[in-house]
Amino acid sequence: MRILLVVNAFASSVTARNTVVVHRTLSRGNDVEVVETNRRGHATRFAQDAARRGLDVVIGFGGDGTLNEVATGVAGTDTAIGVLPGGSTNVFARTIGTANDPVLAATQLAAGLAAGDIGPIGLGQVNGRFFCFHTGIGYDAAVVREVERRASLKRWLGHPLFIAASLRTWAAGYDRRTPHFRVGGTDATGDPFDVPDGWFTIVLNTNPYTYLGNRPLDLSPAATLDRGLVAVTFRTMRAGVILRSLAGALRGGGVAPGPHLDVRTDLTEFVVAHDRPFPYQLDGDFLGETRELRFRHRPAAVRLVRPAPAP
């Protein structure tokens, strides 16, 4: 196969040594070209060019943001995507069964390529931009913004940096006095719904939402690559409600809807809006503030190389 390996050398787990090993592993029986990104959006342009040239697969070796850009670049074409874990969390790679070690993951991916285990998956889309596993709106996005302000520390601190950013944002970086947006659309039964008092929302294309170390944060088992989107909206910023929900997510089985937590599954289209701007992030990358987000589920948006099971 003709493969483009897109490497983000600044990602947490990417080194010169493991890049050489990964390249060597994938090159057994394949023609592999390697490129390195050096700025945001670079991976998308590499992926678009690869699709125009008719390459078979573009593999993102970096964090979740690198994979997002690769998927955005090839969505709607015959070129497939593959993923290798190079970031601090690697949510999507781990969700589909990839080992969190890049060298072992390359062996799994090479086996998947050899077996031809490639098939279509659905993606989420918001305001025209694709996402692989989730979009965070409100408080969640404000935390990501705080982390990105200290991006140079992310390689070394990882999860402790996210925890510190969460506490700092809770204390001083996010308005906890009034709701930030409303969520509305048509649910899976065709009935309209309206959540007028959203404080923060996680829109899932896959589950878990993220990992805390090796523990998955399970918000909804209904979020899979062959079903519609799931929207989990917190209608309060009361610490007790949020902590109880997160504790339940760590136990597995998803979070339970209630008076302060709205859960919608199998969504095809919906809108998040407010007359004041609110922050949002896609697949772990902060994208700024907006007054409106229009979501759509795109079935069979891209073809994915599935990793072989870890030995």
Please give the class, per CATH, of domain 130-298: mainly beta
Measured between alpha carbons, how far is residue 235 from residues 75, 138, 191, 238, 261 in Å? 34, 11, 20, 9, 6
Q: How far apart, in whole angstroms, are the C-alpha atoms of residue 90 and residue 49? A: 25
Sign of the C-alpha dihedral computed for residues 253, 259, 262 and 266 taken in this order: positive
For residue 75, give both structure tokens.
């969505």
Q: Quick one: pLDDT at residue 214?
A: 86
Which residue ranges does the chain devote to CATH 2.60.200.40? 130-298
Record: fold of 2-123: Rossmann fold (3.40.50)
Which residue ranges does the chain devote to CATH 3.40.50.10330? 2-123
Residue 56 is given by DSSP the state S
Average pLDDT over residues 8-33: 95
pLDDT of 144-167, one tens digit each? 888 877 665 555 455 676 777 787
Q: What is the mean pLDDT of the chain?
A: 92
List the single range of 78-87, 117-126, 248-257 with lowest mean pLDDT. Answer: 248-257
Q: Quick one: pLDDT at residue 174?
A: 82
Percentage of the chain lying above the pLDDT 70 cut: 96
